[in-house]
Structure 1
Amino acid sequence: MSGAGNDAAAPPLAGIRVLDLTRLLPGPVATMQLADMGADVLKIEDPGAGDYARAMGPVRAEVSQFFVAVNRGKRFLRLDLKDQAQREQLLALVDDADVLVESFRPGVMAKLGLGWDVLRRRKPTLVMCAISGYGQDGPFAQLAGHDINYIGYAGMLANNAGPDGTPALPNLQVGDLLGGAQSALQGILAALLAVKMGGPGRFVDISMSDAVLAHNIMPLVAVNNGAEAAPARDLLTGGVPCYNVYRTADARFMAVGALELKFWQLCCDVLQRPDLKARHWQLGQQVGGADALAVKAELDAIFAGRSLAQWTETFAASDCCVTPILTSAEALRHPLFQARRMVSQERHPTEGVYWAVAHPIKFET
């Protein structure tokens, strides 16, 4: 994580101690990223099944690959927080901690005698982060939910739809990872900085639904402009030929991201269709209109004439934002990520060899 010329430099969060009481995806990813940046993360699970992620998906030996993927770099401890003696053990850990992260329903920590009022009296500089679906207050605070519910309420899922309007379920959990993990990480780091500057500890209330709504930028722009676009007909959802996906001869797909006019015109040159250069949204083509869809149909026919490998080679020398759509297995082996040291094959004591993805932020000193 340090620069190539200073491998001995300490990671930025070295010395920060984190207690992780979270389960499944959002909280564990947030605390894993803290660990990746040097924090000492102690994951605390109940003495029974523990984190539900342990048994989600195929289990090789002891735990699932899901659990392995989101809990690297952590230490582990089992505590029954309903037991008085073990609650006292947690409170003793709080004395030496900088951050505590939990993802129970609002009010659970307070019922256990571990609420914010108790913890901040115990450790005035503590940062406590609570991740929930709908926030610590409001009419939905006590309701259960998952990613599909959060992105549905926030308007994101309705915009992630095909031309017939049917929402497509993304395999990137926007609510959990953007709404939960990244927003929690942002809040925790801001609160830690405030403590570092001499301020008190903070309670960080993360609502995954709130965070998705706050990042649903393009649909918000459409609403403020007077009308939401039809499904798959907005600027970035399929309404223009210069920003779209195209099926190849071998049933793969190319991503055309030639959104700016200069890239579109270069793309047209590569496709040997200079006549299409003037048919671009910046030159008056209506987004989602008949002409845009007609040009899209022409490009559909063109891209269907060659394989993914052929089109990748054809566009390799032209910097116009046209690239192959890779599978996850292909991405792990791609020179882009290999050269950036983003992926490696690791050996787990019980789970065997598996692919690991590195922390995406590189630090240099």
Structure 2
Amino acid sequence: MSNLELPLAGVKVLDLSTLLPGPLATLMLADAGADVIKLERPGRGDEMRTYEPKFGEASANYAVLNRGKRAYAVDFKDPTQRDRVLELAAQADVVIEQFRPGVADRLGLGYEAMKAVNPQVVYCSITGYGPTGSHAARAGHDLNYLAESGLLGVVADASGAPALPVTVLADIAGGTYPAVVNILLALRQAERTGEGSHLQVSMAHNLQMLGYGYFAAHQAGGQWPRPGAEQLTGGSPRYHIYPTSDGRHIACAALEQKFWDRLVELVGLDDKFRDDDGQEQAVIAALADVFASQTAHHWSTILDGEDVCTVIVATWDEAVQAGLVDVSGPDRVSAPDTDGASFATFASPVDPALRRDADTVPYPTLASLPDGSPWS
């Protein structure tokens, strides 16, 4: 598909965000054809540029999140440069910012200032805890949002301690994805009505969707999840992590009876444990003993090809070999300050039918804002 045929061709996005939630959102918009201009502080730019490992002048993290954009250095506190930002906003369809509540307004770059020069602008604010309330002004990162939302504590180890999450769930599931969805809805509304909107994306509050089952159970039964005791938090032998004899682990998710019955047969679990209702802890202990008696390789030869929803916890190397992590796909990112160096990068969740053709796309150097409009 040519760039002119992409669904967001012609859409101009002004990105004032940093690190992960906003930049990943604008990457998805860029993949769908939007023209993204990213404004960063002078000198070191976006904090993510400094991360390790480096790929060219910036970090590999920055490279994969900001490929295909342009980046300009702007001092938002300088009145002259602030006015230049407002000039860009007057031409933009979308503005994304990730300051703490009130900061953009104090800088003269809040929604009202941008609406005054562009009534149709879709202005998206991504915050940790929302624009109001006792938590609004707090600094935070992904782990903090997970902790204070209640999600982090629902799965605990034998000592009762929660584990570090496998990835930055709040940033992506609570920030990036809601931002993209709401921006697309707001663009459609602006197209129909001629009116823009101010979108508020709170990463902590959006985590409620990830805990939908806990919420539903509480509203219907009055009880919040007990750490490590519910069906999906460690209380069921059918949804559990079990160690093997060689220090590997097995992820069991044999929730449905047909899967559970077949698993019991395959691993040779005592038939008295087929009905686990009311004896969950005993069944967990018995199945743990069974899995701990053999190596991961032994269990993979038994479980592979069986419909039991039970698998070996893979290493990254194994995930690559299985084709579940693609390190040689068609999308590549290059470093602008190296001689043609590039590496394969992940494809964003934008469907191939709706995104730009696979190509080697550079990440942006941090340039000076030109005198004229970069969108002209």
CA distance in 2, matches of 1:43, 1:266: 53
Give the structure, 1 or 2, with the largest relative contact order (CA under 8 Å, sep 6 or more): 2
Q: Which of 301, 305, 313 is matched with 1:313 structurally?
A: 301
- Residue 294 of structure 2 aligns to a residue in which SS? coil
Paired position in structure 1 for 2:371 = none
- Residue 357 of structure 1 aligns to a residue in which SS? coil
Deviations 1:52-100 (A, max 9, x none): 1111333354222222232222221111222233222222222221100
Kept in 1, the 8 Å contact 2:264–2:274? The answer is no
- Residue 5 of structure 2 aligns to a residue in which SS? coil
Following superposition, the deviation at residue 32 of structure 1 comes to 1.5
Paired position in structure 2 for 1:227 = 223
Moved more, 350-359 or 256-265: 350-359
Kept in 2, the 8 Å contact 1:150–1:175? The answer is yes
Deviations 1:83-118 (A, max 9, x none): 233222222222221100000111222122222112
Q: Extract unaligned runs of 5+ from structure 1.
A: none
Kept in 1, the 8 Å contact 2:19–2:47? The answer is yes
Paired position in structure 2 for 1:248 = 244
Q: Which amino acid aligns with 2:313?
A: I
Kept in 1, the 8 Å contact 2:303–2:311? The answer is yes
Q: How does 1:244-323 map to 2 (within 5 A)?
A: 244-273=240-269, 275=271, 278-280=274-276, 285-286=277-278, 291-323=279-311
CA distance in 2, matches of 1:307, 1:344: 37
1:124 aligns with 2:112: no
CA distance in 2, matches of 1:138, 1:157: 21
Cα distance, 1:138–1:358 mapped onto 2, change above 3 Å: same
CA distance in 1, matches of 2:90, 2:321: 44
Paired position in structure 1 for 2:165 = 170
Cα distance, 1:22–1:346 mapped onto 2, change above 3 Å: closer
Paired position in structure 1 for 2:351 = 362
Paired position in structure 2 for 1:59 = 54
CA distance in 2, matches of 1:113, 1:355: 40
Cα distance, 1:135–1:232 mapped onto 2, change above 3 Å: same
Cα distance, 1:332–1:199 mapped onto 2, change above 3 Å: farther
CA distance in 1, matches of 2:272, 2:60: 47
Following superposition, the deviation at residue 307 of structure 1 comes to 2.9
Cα distance, 1:334–1:12 mapped onto 2, change above 3 Å: farther
Q: Which of 50, 62, 71 is matched with 2:66 structurally?
A: 71
Q: Extract unaligned runs of 5+ from structure 2.
A: 355-376
Q: Which of 162, 166, 181 is matched with 1:186 structurally?
A: 181
Cα distance, 1:348–1:329 mapped onto 2, change above 3 Å: farther
1:150 aligns with 2:145: yes
Following superposition, the deviation at residue 353 of structure 1 comes to 5.0
Q: Which amino acid aligns with 1:35?
A: A
Cα distance, 1:277–1:344 mapped onto 2, change above 3 Å: farther
Q: How does 1:7-86 map to 2 (within 5 A)?
A: 10-86=5-81
Q: How high is the sequence identity, in percent, across the aligned residues? A: 37
- Residue 250 of structure 2 aligns to a residue in which SS? strand
Moved more, 297-306 or 203-212: 297-306
Q: Which of 291, 294, 313 is matched with 1:325 structurally?
A: 313
Relative to the length of structure 1, the TM-score reads: 0.87
Cα distance, 1:166–1:39 mapped onto 2, change above 3 Å: same
Relative to the length of structure 2, the TM-score reads: 0.85
Following superposition, the deviation at residue 304 of structure 1 comes to 2.2
Kept in 1, the 8 Å contact 2:245–2:292? The answer is yes
Following superposition, the deviation at residue 306 of structure 1 comes to 3.2
Q: Which amino acid aligns with 2:224?
A: E
Deviations 1:311-341 (A, max 9, x none): 23322221221122223343344324449x8
Cα distance, 1:14–1:308 mapped onto 2, change above 3 Å: farther
CA distance in 2, matches of 1:345, 1:192: 29
Paired position in structure 1 for 2:366 = none
Kept in 2, the 8 Å contact 1:268–1:276? The answer is no
1:238 aligns with 2:226: no
CA distance in 1, matches of 2:331, 2:229: 39
CA distance in 1, matches of 2:296, 2:6: 41
Deviations 1:5-30 (A, max 9, x none): xx888332222211111111211111
Following superposition, the deviation at residue 264 of structure 1 comes to 0.9
Task: State the aligned residue count.
Answer: 351
Following superposition, the deviation at residue 243 of structure 1 comes to 0.9
